[in-house]
Amino acid sequence: MTKTPRELGYRMPAEWEPHAATWLSWPRREGISFPDSFDRVLPTLREMVAALIGNGHSGSDPVCINVVNGAHEAEARAVLDSLPHQECITYYEIPTNEPWCRDHGPIFLTRDAEPKLAIVDWDYNAWGNKYPPFDLDEVVPTRVAELLKVPVFYPKMILEGGSIDVNGAGALLTSESCLLNKNRNPNLSREETEKRLREFLGVSDILWLGDGIEGDDTDGHVDDLARFVSQTKVVTVVEENSDDPNYKPLQENLARLRAMKVGGRNIGVTVLPMPTKIVREGMRMPASYANFYIANKVVLAPTFADPADEIALSTLRKCFPNRRVVGIDCRELIWGLGTFHCLTQQQPATG
């Protein structure tokens, strides 16, 4: 196409706008995401899918699951077939390398005119060429676009879905440590990066945070730092322990957020705690309460058997009074270095 999505009237909706489905990529036993703990993450995945499909009534999220082949589908079914409302789960033969659908999956756009739905296929290099192979993950957005028979746009820029967050009304939140990292787009300046975000996501205000949290191998994805909860409000994680390496970067991000404006107005900022430091096999895990996922009827919130769990859940319940906030233990899932937002990708409703 010669015109950009912005020129054609497309925009990226906010996550809290109505979904037609939630997309997942089922993990592979031979994958690298859960070394020696694959079976231990399966109950968490089952609980996640159960919460998404809920009672199966209108308003719950139908779940679309990418699988490599029939054998892989059978593995997923062994975990999920005992759930009620199987009509809400659909399997698609779209092979992936790893399960992080937020980052390799399609970014969906909508507009009022037909075709109402479109997909942006950003380039993908597994967080700066850290985890090859990623050839299957790289083509997932186009495979989904072919399946849904919707237009697909190619910005020719590396970007993961977890590195951005939008309010659906023109503002986009991201981080310098990730989007400006030379392991992604070494030939693009900040100005050129901003131009592509505006043209391909239909946004106008680009809001920059600084550094990410310790242990985050994505170089600072914003979905571990701060998230829009309405068009004019964000939640952001803050570390209270001044001796923790996360204390300073999160304080700096908090200060930036408090100085930011959207549409000429200050952003409302609500603070989320950080869980106590989690170390496994000598590595710090990037555990963060900001990695929640907003579905149609529920908010999936990671918990870590930590005293701060209840504070985080209570804070999110105030942010989403019309949704059920479901806390699910992610102590095994975080070994893969991500939780619910990293695993999910929303398909907006167009009706």
Q: Which structure tokens are listed for 347?
A: 């398909």
pLDDT digits (tens, 9 = 90+) for 144-170: 999 999 999 999 999 999 999 999 999
Q: Distance between CA 135 and CA 229 in Å, rounded?
A: 34
Find, among 305, 281, 303, 301, the residue nearest to 293 by Cα. Answer: 301
CB 112 within 8 Å of CB 9: yes
- Residues 50 and 83 sit within 8 Å (Cβ to Cβ): yes
What is the rounded CA–CA span in Å between residue 330 and residue 345? 18
Catalytic residue among 64, 319, 330, 342: 342
Q: Crossing angle of helices 70-80/38-53, nearest 10°?
A: 70
> What secondary structure does DSSP assign to 310-329, as a single string?
HHHHHHHHHH-TTSEEEEEE
Rounded to a whole number of angstroms, the CA Rg of the chain reads: 19
pLDDT in tens, 227-264: 999 999 999 999 999 999 999 999 999 999 999 999 88
Rounded average pLDDT over 173-184 = 98
φ, ψ of residue 309 to 5 degrees: the values are -55, -50
Show the tokens assigned to 122.
């950003």
Give yes or no: 342 in active site.
Answer: yes
Ordered DSSP codes for 70-139: HHHHHHHHHHHTTSS-GGGEEEEE---SSS-HHHHSPEEEE-SSSS-EEEE--B--HHHHTS---HHHHT
pLDDT digits (tens, 9 = 90+) for 254-302: 999 999 999 889 999 999 999 999 999 999 999 999 999 999 999 999 9
The residues pairing with 120 across neighbouring beta strands, listed in sequence order, are 107, 153
pLDDT at residue number 141: 98
Confidence of residue 110 (pLDDT cuts 50, 70, 90): very high
Percent of the chain at pLDDT > 70 equals 100
Task: Report the pLDDT value the prediction gives residue 35, as an integer from 0 to 100.
Answer: 84
Question: What is the per-residue pLDDT for 1?
Answer: 65
pLDDT over 90 percentage in the chain = 96
For 95, counting Cβ atoms within 10 Å of its Cβ (0-12 exposed, 13-18 middle, 19+ buried), the class is middle
Distance between CA 213 and CA 161 in Å, rounded? 17
> How far apart (Å, rounded) are the C-alpha atoms in residues 67 and 113?
32
Helix (H, G, I), strand (E, B) or coil at 174: strand
Q: What is the pLDDT of residue 351?
A: 79
- Report the pLDDT value the prediction gives residue 62, as an integer from 0 to 100: 96
What pLDDT was estimated at residue 56? Answer: 76
Q: What is the average pLDDT across 72-85?
A: 97
To which H or E segment does residue 22 belong? strand 19-25
Quick check: 2 pLDDT over 90? no
| Distance, CA of 129 to CA of 106 (rounded, Å) | 19
267 — phi, psi (to 5°)? -80, 140
Q: What does the chain come to in residues?
A: 351
pLDDT in the model for residue 10: 98
Position 323 scores a pLDDT of 97
State the average pLDDT over residues 109-124: 98
185 neighbors 219 (Cβ within 8 angstroms)? no
Tell me the pLDDT of the chain averaged across its residues. Answer: 97
What is the pLDDT averaged over residues 52-58? 84
Say which CATH architecture domain 19-348 belongs to.
5-stranded Propeller (3.75)
